[in-house]
Amino acid sequence: MKNLLTIALASSVSLAVLSATAAEKVDTSKLPPAADKKDVSFEKDIKPLLEASCLKCHGPENPKAKYRVDSREAFVKGGDSEEAAVVPGKSADSPVVHMVSDLIEEMEMPPVDKRDNYPAFTKEQIGLLRAWIDQGAK
């Protein structure tokens, strides 16, 4: 039992270090700009993007990395890493923006090898996501 606890603790620490290291290496100058659209809403503008590209793997039933995207609250909260996926008001600091923009190697979302079935976000869609986050992620 003690060995299991040690392994679990070491895995958690490794994941936290990996997450922090990945966040430090993100070159946010490569991000598409936020869209100019005002009053971007989760239900009308963001949820359809997530349904097309993310929901199959991050839906309510057995979500990968315990990260769900089927509600605004779950999308903002994040998953296994216990780090918020969305930092309201700060899209350039939001891990989900880094991942859908392919700025973190090996953590691109959707995964590169699944993009035949789950399309990557376009620059315009990333801009819309950024605008929603910058407007407070409400």
- Are 130 and 35 spatial neighbours (Cβ–Cβ below 8 Å)? yes
Calpha distance 88→46 (Å, rounded): 14
The number of folded domains in the chain is 1
The DSSP secondary-structure symbol of 39 reads: S
> Taking the model in full, what pTM does it have?
0.81
pLDDT in tens, 93-128: 999 999 999 999 999 999 999 999 999 999 999 999
Give me the domain span that covers residue 13. Answer: 2-134
Calpha distance 118→89 (Å, rounded): 27
Question: What residues in the chain have per-residue pLDDT under 50?
Answer: 2-23
| Residue from 54, 46, 45 nearest 109 by CA | 54
